[in-house]
Amino acid sequence: MKKNHKKLLIFSTALSFLLLVYLFRPSIWQDRIETYLNSQLNDAGWKLENSVFSGHLFTKISSNSILLTKSDGSLISFPSIDVRIKIIPLLLGKINLNQLRVSNAVISPSIKIRNDRDGENMIIFDPSNFPVNIKDLYLDGSFIVPFEDSLRSLSFLINGEILNVDENININLKEFNLTSSLPSFKVNTSGLKGLFSKNKAFIDLNNASINDINLSGFLEYSFFDTSSINAEIELNDYKIPELIFSELPLQPNLSKLSANFTFNSNLSDYIGDLKIKNDLGLSMKGSFELKSDSGYVRLNKLDLEGNEASLSLNGLIEEAGRFNGIARLQNLDLSEWILNTQKTGISGYLLLDGSFKEMFITSLDLNADVSESIRFNNEPSSFSGGISYSDSMLTIFNPVTLSIGKSLVAVEGYADYANKLLNLNVDLTEASSSLINYFWSDTLKGGKATGSMKINGAFDKTSLDADLVINDFEYNDITLSNFELNAKIDDLSNHRTGVVKTKFNNGLWNDYALENGNGQFVLNNKEIAITSFEVRNNSDYMQFNGSFFVDSLLIIDKFQLAYQNHFLINPSRLILNLYNEKLSIEAFELHVDDGVIQGYFETDPFVGQIKFSNVTSDLLSLLKLKGSERIDGSFFGEINFPKDKAVNRIKFDFSIKEGYLVDQQFNNLRVDAFYQNGIILIDTLSLEHEDKSSFHISGNIPYPFDRTRSQPAKLISKFKNIDLSFMSDISNKYLSRIKGKFTGSFDISGNTLKTEYFLDGQIVDAYWGSLPLGTVVGTGLYKNKRLAFEKFSSKIDKNRIVGNANIPVDIDLISRSRKISPNAKIELYTEGTFRSAEFISTYISEIDSIIGDINIKFNVKGPRKSLSRNGNINLSNASIYSVLMDEPIKKINAQAELINNKMNIESFTGSLSDSDGRKVENNNLSISGNIDFTKFFEPRYGVNAKGKNIFYRSLNQDIESYADLEVFISGKDTIDVSGTISARNGAIYKEFIGSESSLDSDEQGRVITSYNIRFPIEDSFSIRNSQIDARISGELGMSKLYDDVWNYSGEIDFTEGQIYYYLGDVFENLKGSMVFDGQGFNPFLELSASTKIGDAEILLGVFGPFDNPEWRFDSDKGYSESDILQLLTFNTRVSEEGFSTEGLGTQAQTILGAYLERQLEKNFIKTTGLKSSGIIQDVQISGTSELINPSDGEEFSINARLNQSFSLSYKRSFSLEAAYKNKVGVEYKLNPNFSVIGNVDETGQVQMKFRVRRVY
């Protein structure tokens, strides 16, 4: 039973399905569907025709040639459709579509247009008459619309959703495309949404492209009684079509822009805001007002601001093809608008007027008046003028003027692009190089041009007539104060015919000075005739004439050169050919001074022959050849470069007569060698100087050296009395310090990687740097980067030294370092006996000489970075002379041992006494301690010096004294010298000076020496100078750092003495104290003294720093200070009435003059700062009494000492007899006792005399 029931259910289901399939065939529903559709379409005024459906309602139905018509004449044709109909609405008598697919549809609406109240045309659109409600729509085809008096076809594609809800059409399109061929436009959108009602349309664009212009935004269109638009449009990467400027001669390469428009419109007036930007940095915003009317569009305003710039536009575009407008600019940067343009700052206005056709600008008139502030190195510039372009003719109807600062260029004329003709007049006034470079493809470094140029003719055959003067001309390596150019060229591009004249003066070419010059060139088709070219500089000059041809052939008919007292001339024509960077010179002859150069050659490769006869070597230095300054003489011989390129051989066969090789004189230097395949083969390289000196070298050596492979080398040389100075360039910095005259042999063998040297000979008058060595004899061998001297000896006077050495050093032929290896071991063994220790005194500036019996052993062993030094030194009956002391240290007996870099002073005694005295103290000076030479040139000191009753007198004799001393010397980088020197029975003769320091920290050495010494004063000690003569007691400290002056500190008490201040007056009974501030020798005084004038005792009190003390006068008679000054002046009192310089005594004038001189000197130095700046060392002023009493006849003078040898002076008289006479002079000391003096007075007379100082 159940089984039958199941079969019945299956049968019923299948029967029902078959029944539904049958019942929903389109043929059954054909009439109903057509009735339902017409019923719905008729409500909107539409009618369906020719509808025959196929397919099935459960899937989709199709039909062909469907036609929709409307009573107003609208027509829609669907050649084929595929559609899906909703079943349930169909059963209820309505047609609702789920999907519609139509291709090649034709829509021809009947569009009604009415006028609104403002007279504008309005499109009448009623969504209720649009019976479309489709969820999935794909429709493409043509849309026929009326345009003017014809119909135009628009192609379209719609893909998306269109729904009619509450008499509103809602659209949501994935894709909407619309194209037209005439007028040409193309619209592509994606993500288009919108709403259309009876009175409003709204469109929201997600991404759209109109004629390849990318945009997005929204648009709201209202059409009530009046139409209005509210929109915001975003343009992306929009570029103004280049087609617009295609008819113009200049076509700007404009940048792409992105813009945002927000505006409202009534279809006539458009008002809104605008923002624009691009990738070049442009960012501006502003507003615009646009009016569209019948026959024209007027831009009332467009104002933009941004980046400190502004742009304002207004103008008119007519449908008839005309436009005009005005642009106002403020600090506009064109580099933000135009690609590959430099930054600008343009302000001013532009007037535009022109015509267009379709998208082309066919004519344009431009008037401009703008200024620019950035382009030309921030110099202010301006551009003004008027240019017109029409019918391929560019005309300058208002002269174009470009100015930069004081530079000015004015242009007039025209350019005919149809006939390719040009006619321009250019006037320049002080046109700067920056302005000229703006028009010129090359670059002037400097210059200002004034003159005119006329350019006319065909584009491809332009003539030039130029007359220019350029001041301060700079081009490449040429600088000229004045350059004149006069040129008339008929074919500027090809330089075929014409005349060019130049004139110039006062300049430089590279390092060569040019006083003046001129040139004249005639262009004649393929030839440039150089009729004259001449350059002069004092007695030097160059002059030539000839011809230059377009095939790079240069013929010089006459050439003359005079340079630095040398003269060159060509007796015959010179023919040079430069082709493809290859230079060839046919057989030539040149006379150089008294010599002759002959030959021929060509380059790439170099082939030829050059012969010399009596040609001076001075030419080599004039050509700035490296090393040419090392040789002097006259060349005879030849150099051959063979034509056989496979041989690659160069033959040298020449001699140099009567000259010098560095410091070595010779009569003949002979070279017989050839160069082949990278090797110099020397048959003979010899030098001879009478019978005194000679050398002979033969062998082979590679050139150039190849550091990647071994190259054999062998040289054999014999020397006789040859100066070693010429070897300095081929040895390292240590060996190059050896000087003298060498006799012996020096051979080279091996190869460039492993070179061997053998040396056997002697050097006479040898020096190591500035150390004399006398005669040095020895043999040496260099092999495997070690230089070994089995035995060497040196002898000079009574000094003897012998030794041997083994030094690890790299001096192979290809060596780059030529230095001693830091890790290899050095071995040096020396011993000697000396009478004079010049090897010490030469390198210690404070020591003049060391003389005595001296024995030294000195050995060095180990790696360079950790050398071990050992040896000993013995001095017997020696003397040390120092530049710091007038007396030498005599009778020195000393012994020291050097063990592993540390030298212990085992004993050191000597005598330091007054040679003028009767008593000589023996062994009153001793030294003990040690010196660590681990760092040989920076030793560490630990030395103690003691002395009893020693005598010291400085070399300039400003200090002398007996003393007991105990001084300690310690340190390495900073050496401290400290201790105590107890002085007695002595005197200081030093003048009181200020505290200026002469230290220059830039000149400090690596080792700093610091002095700090105490001087307790015992027994009798005095200060004697031009200011004070007194006995003193107390304690004085002396300190010094680097090369600064000595600084004095401490307090001195005056026990008795005299003080001098005014000339002619002496104050006695000096008492008080003097305190030194530790800065120079500048005391603080607290003194009292007295003097007698008549029966009056004058009391003087001095308090304060010496350069500006306070002076107090008193007397036992109760006189005032003014009375005391009168007494000091006249030795008596005078009445106050009528006091003047008339009758002022000689003493008073002298006193006041001396006081005035000191004040002037002091204040002159203080206020000018010349002494502290190092410009002058001292100032002396004299003759100030001439300022008080001009009739006295004394000359007022100022003397300034610049250094120890050079002084300047100025003298002037104020007397009536010699009014305004002045004199300027210089004095130059040849030595301390002999000077040359020169004076020039106000009349220009020069006086020369000599001054001799004799010291008795």
For 304-314, the pLDDT digits (tens) are 888 888 889 99
Residues above pLDDT 90, as percent of the chain: 16
Q: What is the pLDDT of residue 1252?
A: 47
Q: What is the pLDDT of residue 829?
A: 94
Does 640 have pLDDT greater than 60?
Answer: yes
Q: Residue with structure tokens 């001297």?
A: 789
Q: Which of 51-55, 187-191, 945-949 has the lowest mean pLDDT?
A: 51-55
User: CB count, 10 Å around CB of 1242?
Assistant: 11
Confidence class for position 1144, pLDDT limits 50, 70, 90: very low
Q: Residue with structure tokens 């060159």?
A: 568
Residues above pLDDT 70, as percent of the chain: 76
Closest-CA residue to 910 (of 871, 937, 870, 950): 950
C-alpha distances in Å from residue 1139, one per residue of 950, 1134, 1135, 1215: 59, 9, 8, 21
Q: What is the pLDDT of residue 1029?
A: 86
Q: Which of 98-107, 291-300, 1066-1075, 1216-1225 has the lowest mean pLDDT?
A: 1216-1225
Does 896 have pLDDT greater than 90?
Answer: yes
User: CB count, 10 Å around CB of 193?
Assistant: 16
Confidence class for position 1219, pLDDT limits 50, 70, 90: very low
Q: What is the pLDDT of residue 415?
A: 85
Helix (H) or strand (E) holding 1219: none
Confidence class for position 258, pLDDT limits 50, 70, 90: confident
Cβ atoms of 1249 and 1237 closer than 8 Å: yes
Q: Burial of 835 by CB count in 10 Å (0-12 exposed, 13-18 middle, 19+ buried)?
A: middle
Name the more confident of 107 and 796.
796
Does 563 have pLDDT greater than 80?
Answer: yes
d(C-alpha 70, C-alpha 20), whole Å: 36
Return phi, psi of residue 1217, to 5°.
Answer: -70, -30
What mean pLDDT value characterizes the chain? 79
Confidence class for position 998, pLDDT limits 50, 70, 90: very low
Helix (H) or strand (E) holding 1149: helix 1146-1168
Q: What is the pLDDT of residue 119?
A: 45
Cβ atoms of 169 and 195 closer than 8 Å: yes
Does 634 have pLDDT greater than 90?
Answer: yes
Q: What is the pLDDT of residue 158?
A: 84
pLDDT average, residue stretch 816-834:
84
pLDDT average, residue stretch 881-910:
89
User: CB count, 10 Å around CB of 889?
Assistant: 20
Q: What is the pLDDT of residue 1145?
A: 43
pLDDT average, residue stretch 354-374:
82
Does 241 have pLDDT greater than 80?
Answer: no
* Residue 946: partners with Cβ closer than 8 Å, 6 or more residues away: 925, 926, 927, 928, 965, 966, 967
Tokens of 989: 């003769």
Does 1138 have pLDDT greater than 50?
Answer: no
Q: For the chain, how big is the Rg over CA atoms in Å?
A: 55
What are the helix and strand counts (H, E) for the chain?
10, 72
Confidence class for position 646, pLDDT limits 50, 70, 90: low
Name the more confident of 913 and 991.
913
CA dihedral 534, 535, 539, 543 (to 10 degrees): -30
Name the more confident of 1206 and 948.
948
Does 90 have pLDDT greater than 60?
Answer: yes
Confidence class for position 102, pLDDT limits 50, 70, 90: confident
Cβ atoms of 1091 and 1101 closer than 8 Å: no
**Cis status, amide bond into 642, omega within 30 of 0:** no
Q: Which of 119-123, 195-199, 721-725, 1071-1075 has the lowest mean pLDDT?
A: 119-123
Cβ atoms of 922 and 911 closer than 8 Å: yes
Does 1201 have pLDDT greater than 80?
Answer: no
pLDDT average, residue stretch 117-143:
64
pLDDT average, residue stretch 711-716:
93
Highest mean pLDDT among 115-119, 125-129, 266-270, 424-428: 424-428
Q: Which of 17-26, 349-358, 1005-1014, 1161-1170 has the lowest mean pLDDT?
A: 1161-1170
Tokens of 306: 């941004």
Does 999 have pLDDT greater than 50?
Answer: no
Q: Which of 50-59, 686-695, 818-827 has the lowest mean pLDDT?
A: 50-59
pLDDT average, residue stretch 1224-1234:
57
Q: What is the pLDDT of residue 866?
A: 87
Q: Which of 355-359, 835-839, 1201-1205 has the lowest mean pLDDT?
A: 1201-1205
Q: Which of 29-43, 62-76, 350-364 has the lowest mean pLDDT?
A: 29-43
Confidence class for position 361, pLDDT limits 50, 70, 90: confident
Q: What is the pLDDT of residue 648?
A: 65
Pairing of strands 75-85, 61-70: antiparallel
Q: Burial of 1214 by CB count in 10 Å (0-12 exposed, 13-18 middle, 19+ buried)?
A: buried
Does 206 have pLDDT greater than 60?
Answer: yes
List the strands of the sheet with 1234-1241, edge to edge.
Answer: 1178-1182, 1196-1201, 1206-1212, 1222-1231, 1234-1241, 1246-1252
Q: What is the pLDDT of residue 360?
A: 76
Instruction: Report helix, strand and coil shares of the chain as percent, to nearest 5.
Output: 10, 60, 25
Confidence class for position 244, pLDDT limits 50, 70, 90: low
pTM (2 d.p.) = 0.54
Name the more confident of 1239 and 939.
939
Confidence class for position 1199, pLDDT limits 50, 70, 90: low
Does 325 have pLDDT greater than 50?
Answer: yes
Each residue's pLDDT tens digit, 582-601: 888 889 999 999 999 999 98
Does 983 have pLDDT greater than 80?
Answer: yes
Q: Which of 251-255, 309-313, 548-552, 590-594 has the lowest mean pLDDT?
A: 251-255
Q: What is the pLDDT of residue 1186?
A: 47
Q: What is the pLDDT of residue 318?
A: 84
Q: Which of 927-941, 1043-1057, 1157-1171 has the lowest mean pLDDT?
A: 1157-1171
For residue 896, the cross-strand partners are: 873, 905
Name the more confident of 792 and 42.
792
pLDDT average, residue stretch 672-687:
91
